[in-house]
Every structure is written in C-alpha cells, then in structure tokens.
Chains A and B, each alone.
Chain A
Amino acid sequence: MTGDVLNDFCIQAATVNGSGSQSSNLVITKALHHMGIPVAAKNVFPSNIEGQPTWYDIRVTPQGYQARKRTVDILIAMNPATWERDVANVRPGGAVIHEAALPRFGAADRDDVSWYPVPFARLAREKLEAKPDLRKYLQNMIYVGVLAELIGLDPAAVEQGVRDQFRTKPKAADLNLAAVQIGVDYTRENLVKTDPFRVAPMDGTRGTVLLDGNRAAALGSLMAGCTVLAWYPITPSSSLCEAFIDYAERYRVDAATGERRFAAIQAEDELAAIGIVLGAEWAGARAMTATSGPGISLMAELTGLGYYAEIPAVIFDIQRVGPSTGLPTRTMQGDLSFVHTLSHGDTRHPVLLPGTVLEVYEDAQRSFDVADRLQTPVFVLSDLDLGMNLWMTAPLPYTERAVDRGKVLDAEALEQVTEWARYRDVDGDGIPYRTLPGTANPRAAYFTRGSGHDEQALYTEDPDVYAANVDRLRRKIEGARTLLPAPLVEEAGNRVAICAYGSTHHAVVEARHQLADHGVETDYLRIRGLPLHPAVAEFIARHDRVYVAEQNRDGQMEALLRQELPGELADRLRSIRHFNGVPIDAEAISDPVLAGEQAQREPAEHQAVDAHRVPVA
C-alpha cells in the first residue's frame, strides 16, 4: 500500500438512476467538505426516472478546482450495463470498487488498476434489517463505507454527511449509518489497499457552503422582492422554481392567517408562464419565470411584446443541450445569441451571464432592478452545470439594499407633472415613465399594445413615429452596456488572453494554471452581460490574441464579438468550442491554446491547428 496521491483525484460512481445513489454521492461530497478538502461534484444523469445509467463525479483538489476532470482515478462500478465502458475509462494505476458479481473479462479485464470486489447485494441481503425495497437504496450506502475506509474519510465527517442528508429523518440516518458501517467492516476484513489515493484533513473549505445555482437564483429572486412566479416544469430549471416555492412557503406565509405574500403558478405551458409574468409586471409586481431552451422558444412571442410595450420581466434560462428536445439532462451555452434578440422584428434584450453560484444570486437580484429600470424583459443565463450541480461557494450575503423600481409615477407624482405621455423620452436616456393599473388618478390610464403606438400609446402606423419609437428603444437598451456588470478582468500585461463567460469560468481558472506550467502566461476577460460593456473592446485592444472559450458548436459569443468589434480587433479572436453536453474541462481550453500558440511561433508548419477551425468536442 502506498500513499502517493493525497487530496487530488477524481471519484466516479457509476450507478443506475432511481437506485438512491444520489444520497450516497452527496454523503461522500459533504464528508469531504467537512474534512476541509475542496470538492467539486458533477452529476451526469440521464433523461429518465429509473433504470438508466448515471454517473456522479466527485473531484478533490488542494487548489479547489471546480471544473470537471476527464480522468477517473477511482471508479465505483454498480451498473452492469456500463460496466465494461466504465472500467475502460479508469486511468492506469487507478482503482475499481465494484459489485463482486460483475464479470472481470473482456474490456473489464485489466491488470493496471487495483480491484476491490465487494458483494454489495449479498451484504445488503444478509446484514441489513430492512425491507427489500429499502435494501436496494441502502446497498449503495455500503459503497460509501468501502470508499471511506479505502481513502481514509474521517468517520465523524461521514456521519455528519449522513446526518445532513437525512436531517428530517433521524431513523433513516441511523439505518444509512449502519449500511456505511457494513462497508467499512467488509473492507477492513477482506480488502487490501493497493492504490495510491487517500485523503487527509486540510483547511480548504473554511467559510464555504455547498450550493447549486438554481437555489441561489431562487434566493436572489426572493431577496429582490419577486412576488409572482409562473413556470412550466422543464429540466434543468424546475428545481429553481421549486426552490423559490420552498423558500417562499418558509418565509412568506403569515403564521397566524396562512395568507401568502407570493403567488406561484404552474402554468399550462411556457406561453402562459411568460404571459403571467408580463401581466403581473404590467400591474406592478416583480415577477419571474425559469425555463430552458424549448421553453425559451415558446416565449419568443411574448418576449417581443414585453420589449415593444416596455414591460419588465425576468427570465432565467437554465441552458441545456439543443436543438429541439436535444439532451435534456446535459449542459450547454447554446442559447446566447437566441435570447439576446429573441422574437421577431428588431429586438434586443439585456442578458446577464453569471459564472459562479454567488454571481447567480447577485445577478438574480440585479436582473429585477435592470428590468424595472429599463422597463424590458431581462434574461439571466445559467446552465445545467451551474444550476443543478453542487458548488463550493462563499455563503450568500444577506441584503438590505433598496430595490430600484425605475420610473414609475404614482397618483401623487402625476399631480406634480404637467404633461405625461407613456412613451415619451423625457430624460434623454430612452426610458419613459410608466404608471400602474389601479392608480387613483384619471391621467394615469393608458392603453398598452403590441401594435404600433405613439408617445401617448395611441395606435399609429405613421412611418416617422414608428421609426422614432424603435430608435428610442435601441438607445434605451444601449444603456444596458454600463448598467450591467463590467467584465471581470485579470490582467498582467500578457499578449495572449482567454475570454469566457458563465460556467466556462471554472475550466479557465485551471487551464490558465496548466498553460502557465507550459510557459504560456495569459490574461483573462470574463464577460458578465450583453449588450457588451465598453471594457470588453478595450481589453481586446490590449491583446494580440484572445481565445474565446465557450460551450456551444458555433462560437456564439465569438460571433457576437466579431459583429460588434472593428475588423482589426475581430481578427485577434480565436474560437474554442466545447459541445458534447458534459461540462467543459480545463484541457478543452489549454490544449487548443497551446496548439494555437505553437502555431503562432511556427506559422508555416502549423496552419492546420488554428483553434478557430478545430473545434474541440
């Protein structure tokens, strides 16, 4: 037995979905976190309820890298259907904990890994006093014990992980702890450790919590004073809406009367969901919906109404793999250019691009202010990876910040103004003043319409009035450039830079370290919103080559940049595209950058590896 690799490896649990393995994996994740070891968890799951293969990757690194890693160091193989393939993915020198009944021949017969056969089914049958249906779930908890014993998980941290997981069910916690112990005992009595992977307590998680982006979005919406949620269930955004309802039921229900200070409507489809949001915002409530690609497609119609009639709205797009139904449980940054100009005619919508769980929380709050300030629908683009996976993050800070409800005239304010027209640009920023239905002043009323209208909101087809109005809308949305957060810039005077946005950030962090190890020092630009902040072009102007890394096939951000930048700056862009549905890893960025930089040094010989023409899948 060796102890060569400490706190730096990747565990993959290959199981069957619907078998309760999620609880086991969360216990391992939380136990590592309790031991102070930075952990990153990625759930790669099928679009299915029960019986399909599912994988859960748990990565520990002393540096706290949060991106996925391609290699598997320790495999927990519980699924006969993917057994051979799963074993083949384990790196030489790795370890395989597996159901003893799985046959070790063919692709699964390797002599360069450590084998730990465990008769999980038999142990569960013989040693667990539980009903057969429950035993199936507990069987997976046994592998927690085996792993704990093999890598040296602190038993107290494991127990804490189990107690966290079954916080409201102490009896279930005891039963699960018994299952863990069966795994520990079996390992002690029957297995000899021959792999190098182990963990030891460190101080790498202090002051952090484990949270998914969807919960952070729900909490941000709650803090922003969102009172109306309308949604249609769709993976991977449903958990955002369900979290909002959870929290609202906890914090927004009058204990004495049961009266609710929120409304959450599960609509008949996404057409109705965005309709309810716009109706509520028109009447003055903060409202939001959350959806994914297919729902965005349905919302195209009313998003255009919101833009033209100038009604605030907040739309969370938790992106998944398209086109069409696509891969519903896999991740992508494929909706960027679509949502930015969603709907027919000339439209443009502000888009927020959070890259971390903390930013999701902040942007969720910010999105309501931006929507109210600009009187227009605002998108918050997250994705399945950021939205549904657990991330290490600083605790979300409590906010007492006042909210910006924008230019709203109430009955009293109307008394003060001599003239008011719903769509008149009084302040020169393109943003008019609005009134809410129910305002007790006869001058408050106006007629909202998605058809052509003049400053008084009256119907018109006048060419000059139409043109002036939509040009004002253009100017209004231009204001979003500086209203949205400036890009995050890490700059040390390097000639080469990486540009990314959203969840791609975490792979960039690691890729830059890898590149530095290869002698390629890079600066970093992370875009936080659309339309682009002026600092984006300024940054690109200070660099010779900017590699734009993103998780879609067509390099959508790179295309947007090319469209907006002068040709001389556009020529400095190189595109790196990752689009196979699993979260991007660091090598998907560092490999093409290295290739591109080598080609730069030896241009004649390496033309073919221009990263722009070689998408990395």
Chain B
Amino acid sequence: MAVAIEKLNRLGLNRDDYKGAHTTLCAGCGHNSITNHIVKALYDSAIEPHLIAKMSGIGCSSKAAAYFVEHAHGFNGAHGRMPSLATGAKLANRDLVVFGVSGDGDTASIGLGQYCHMIRRNLDMTYIIENNGVYGLTKGQSSATADLGSRPKRGPANRYEQIDISALAIELGASFVARSFSGDGKQLVPLIQAALAHRGTGVLDVISPCVTFNDHEGSTKSYAYVKDHDAPVNTPDYIAPLEEITVDYEPGTGQDVELHDGSHILLRKIGPDHDARDRMAAMRLLFEARQSGEIVTGLLYVNPEADDLCTREALTSRPLAQLPVEELRPSREQWDALMAGLA
C-alpha cells in the first residue's frame, strides 16, 4: 500500500509546520501569494520555528505576519514602528531570526524614519515591504509609493512624486536590496532565502497588487492604459473572489502583467550581467527602469561584508535576555571604590 510520504526539510519538519492562521485578506490579494512564498522559503531554509520572531506594523500587509509559522512568536506592533520593536527584540536575543512584514504606508510614510534608521544600523532582519501603492485597510487612499498621476478609488489623482523605497535603501547604505513581484515565486522564494542568509537588513520590496483598491490608471507611463469597462468594479463592501496573479519569466527578459483592474505593469528581471556588488550599477538600473516605465526585479544590491548592528555594538554572543543578573552587576569591591570616589 503506497503511503504519501511528506517531504521533510533538514530539521525534519514539513511545509505545514511553517503555515499560520487562515488569511483574512481579500481573495486574490498579492499579499497572500507572498505569504505562501515566505512559508516555502522558511521551510526550504529550515529555520527553527521557535527562533523566528515575526514582526509587523499596521495595515493589510502587517496582518500577514499571523498567516505563517504558527509556532513562532509574532508581534503586530504599531503603525510604522516595527523597525524599532524589531531592533529591541534582536538586541535582547541575537539568536532570533527576525522576520518583518510591512507595507508601503507602514514603511514609506508613517514609518519612513524608522525604516531609514534600521537600514543605517544594518539590523540583521528580513524586511519585506508588500508594496501596492495604496492604503487598503482605510479603503483606498494613495500611498507614498503610488506613481505620480495614479488615481485612487476615490478622490483626486496622486499629485506627488513616489518614494522609491529600494533606491532609498541603497542610498542609505543598505546591505541587501531586492525587488520582486508577489506572483513570482520562482524569483521571490530564493530572494527571501538569500535575505534570511544575509547578516544585515535584507530589504525585499515586493510589488503586490491590491485586488480591491488598485485602480492606478496609467501607473506605468509607457504602456497604454487598458481596462475592461464591463468588469465588475469592486466596492469596498463587496470583494469579488479573484484569482492570484502569477508570473514566470526568465532573467534578462520583461513581462507585461495585467492587474485585477485591467491595468498593466511591466516587470523586467535583472540579467546575469548586473553586478549586485556594484552600488552605482544598482542605482542606475532603478533609475533607467523608472525612465522607461518598467519595474526592475531581482537582487539589486548586496554587501555581505557590512557589519550588522549586533557586531557594531560588540554584543556578547549570548543573548542579553539570558544573562543572569550576577553577570550584570559590578563587584562589591568595584562598587565600594566607586562610592569612595564620590565622597
């Protein structure tokens, strides 16, 4: 009798061990695709579930931290404040594998300061931005990563320049920056694994279409706006069950992706000729892609030599949280000498 044998990873765990609670996000949401890729990456990399600290801020994206690795501690903090909470957690216990999920509102607006300073300190964590250019939970306002001229569900078109969080990260001296697309598991899973392996902040800027509020007419300038006027227009209180968008294309090539509302984005996968150790080349790639209305995906920049926060702070190898108080107090002799000096 044939029994289906579950495939186990190096730790003897199967993929289900990395799953979490059922998603409450909209069907077809790019964030759910990313969650599946996170599960696969953590499973493939055989990370001890109990050592994972799942961190998030506030927003649709930040809910996702509950949807993977049920047996890991999670912290759904406050809007834009995840980097500081993650910094504290890592300092307290440097054995933790700190894994953060944020969104474009959480990272590029309310949390932009903390995002910048996390990168500056090179906190050892994986930091995924589920980037859809829109505030989903508050029903469709433009975010700071929305393209100039794109139109939210209600209200005027976005009049302001977008903040490119990948370019910003590189400018700030990030040690690992990649951009990907929620539907591209073939590219995203290895990138997450690489970020996990990297000792420093692994920034993953993942374009993740919002099925409900993604109404960015002309979000990429070079491709004509295409829209099926007969398609049901989603209202905030009725979410049509939509399929997730997936892509599969080769490095060095481009792919036109139609989003749920009929608009298009053009992804361009970084080819083998790009030297990811070259910071200037990474910036050039991002700027050139923006000029041509494309979204360049892949590993943009990596510097494996950059010291992470715990190294810079010369932290002891044992977790601070586990040091007994006796090791933290001066000796009685030291104390008496200190007091004598004050007399």
Interface residues of A (CB under 8 A from B): 167, 208-211, 222-228, 230, 247, 250-254, 258-265, 267-269, 271-285, 287, 301-302, 305, 395-396, 398-399, 402-403, 435-442, 444-451, 459
Q: Is B86 an interface residue (CB 8 A)?
A: yes
Known: A260-B313, A398-B336, A438-B319. A276 touches B53 (CB 8 A): no
Interface residues of B in 56-103 (CB under 8 A from A): 65-66, 70-78, 81, 83-93, 95-96
Q: Judge whether B91 and A285 touch: CB under 8 Å.
A: yes
Q: Judge whether B316 and A436 touch: CB under 8 Å.
A: no
Q: Judge whether A222 and B330 touch: CB under 8 Å.
A: yes
> Least Cβ distance of B342 to chain A in Å?
4
Q: Judge whether A284 and B322 touch: CB under 8 Å.
A: yes
Which chain B positions have C-beta within 8 A of A441? Answer: 50
Known: A209-B339, A438-B96. A225 touches B91 (CB 8 A): no
Task: Specify which of B50, B76, B88, B330 lies most central, judged by the most chain A CB atoms within 10 Å of its CB.
Answer: B88
> Least Cβ distance of B78 to chain A in Å?
5
Q: Judge whether B81 and A271 touch: CB under 8 Å.
A: yes
Taking A228-B91, A265-B121, A280-B320 as known contacts, 11 extra A-B pairs with beta carbons closer than 8 A to each other, sorted by chain A number, are A261-B320, A263-B91, A265-B313, A268-B117, A272-B113, A275-B83, A280-B92, A403-B325, A437-B53, A439-B50, A444-B73
Q: Judge whether B117 and A438 touch: CB under 8 Å.
A: no
Interface residues of B in 325-343 (CB under 8 A from A): 325, 327-330, 332, 334-336, 339, 341-343
Q: Judge whether B316 and A437 touch: CB under 8 Å.
A: no
Q: Is B321 an interface residue (CB 8 A)?
A: yes
Which chain B positions have C-beta within 8 A of A287? Answer: 88, 92
Q: How far is the CA of A301 from the CA of B111 in the complex (A)?
A: 13
Q: Judge whether A446 and B329 touch: CB under 8 Å.
A: no
Q: Is B49 an interface residue (CB 8 A)?
A: yes
Task: Specify which of A277, A402, A447 lies most central, judged by the most chain B CB atoms within 10 Å of its CB.
Answer: A447
Q: Is B231 an interface residue (CB 8 A)?
A: no
Selected from A210, A254, A451, the residue in CB contact (under 8 A) with B316 is A254
Q: Is B163 an interface residue (CB 8 A)?
A: no
Q: How far is the CA of A459 from the CA of B74 in the complex (A)?
A: 13
Q: How far is the CA of A211 from the CA of B341 in the complex (A)?
A: 11
Q: Judge whether B85 and A282 touch: CB under 8 Å.
A: yes
Which chain B positions have C-beta within 8 A of A208? Answer: 343
> Least Cβ distance of A237 to chain B in Å?
18
Q: Judge whether A447 and B50 touch: CB under 8 Å.
A: no
Known: A225-B325, A279-B84, A450-B77. A272 touches B91 (CB 8 A): no
Q: Judge whether B114 and A284 touch: CB under 8 Å.
A: no
Which chain A positions have C-beta within 8 A of B116? Answer: 268
The proximity string for B residues 107-121 relative to A, scoring 1 for CB distances below 8 Å and 0 otherwise, is 000000110110001
Which chain A positions have C-beta within 8 A of B322? Answer: 284
Q: Is B315 an interface residue (CB 8 A)?
A: yes
Q: Judge whether B50 and A269 touch: CB under 8 Å.
A: no
Q: Judge whether B92 and A283 touch: CB under 8 Å.
A: yes
Selected from B96, B328, B334, B341, the residue in CB contact (under 8 A) with A227 is B328
Enumerate the 10 nearest inter-chain pairs by beta-carbon distance, A residue then B residue, closest first: A279-B88, A275-B84, A284-B321, A285-B92, A280-B88, A283-B92, A437-B73, A209-B342, A279-B85, A225-B325
Q: Is B4 an interface residue (CB 8 A)?
A: no
Known: A269-B113, A398-B332. A279 touches B92 (CB 8 A): yes
Which chain B positions have C-beta within 8 A of A275? Answer: 77-78, 81, 83-85, 87-88, 114
Which chain B positions have C-beta within 8 A of A276? Answer: 84-85, 87-88, 91
Q: Is B3 an interface residue (CB 8 A)?
A: no
Task: Specify which of B81, B83, B121, B322 lies most central, judged by the most chain A CB atoms within 10 Å of its CB.
Answer: B81
